[in-house]
Amino acid sequence: MLKNDHYTYRVTWSEEDREYVGLCAEFHSLSWLAESPEAALKGIRQVVAEVVKDLLAQGETPPEPIASRQFSGRFMVRVPPELHRRLVLQSQEEGISLNRLASDKLRKQDA
């Protein structure tokens, strides 16, 4: 296993495969199928460790763990002009900034 493994893992059920699948957010092309969630997690962590080892051996840099990254809280989203107009109108009617309206809507979707 990796020393100081700070990657982001998730285990979910795959109805198609009828097994649990282990996933790693930083390595979206990797997965591991197993009969139990514990085995799926162990499997994906081992696969990630092997890939990181191979990347380092080839002089490549593995992805930085999401948990280690710093985020500014800013990102730009492009939307169709009519949607932009409707959102500005809604924000004005609610007496809040467009940024606040968008942030509130995203927060609700995340819940």
**59 to 23, 54, 56, 64: CA distances (angstroms):** 25, 9, 5, 15
pLDDT for res 109: 87
Q: Which of 52, 14, 48 is nearest to 33 (CA)?
A: 14
| Domain match, 81 and 59 both | no
Residue 82: what residue type?
E
Q: Would 55 be classed as within a structural domain? A: yes
| Domain match, 13 and 61 both | yes
Residue keyed to tokens 């109108």: 89
Give the chain's residues under pLDDT 50: none
H helices of 1-110, in order, are 37-57, 81-94, 98-110
Residue keyed to tokens 């979206």: 28
Query: DSSP letter at 68?
Result: G
| Domain match, 23 and 43 both | yes
pLDDT for res 58: 98
Q: How far apart are CA 95 and CA 97, in angstroms?
A: 7
pLDDT for res 64: 95
pTM over 0.85: no
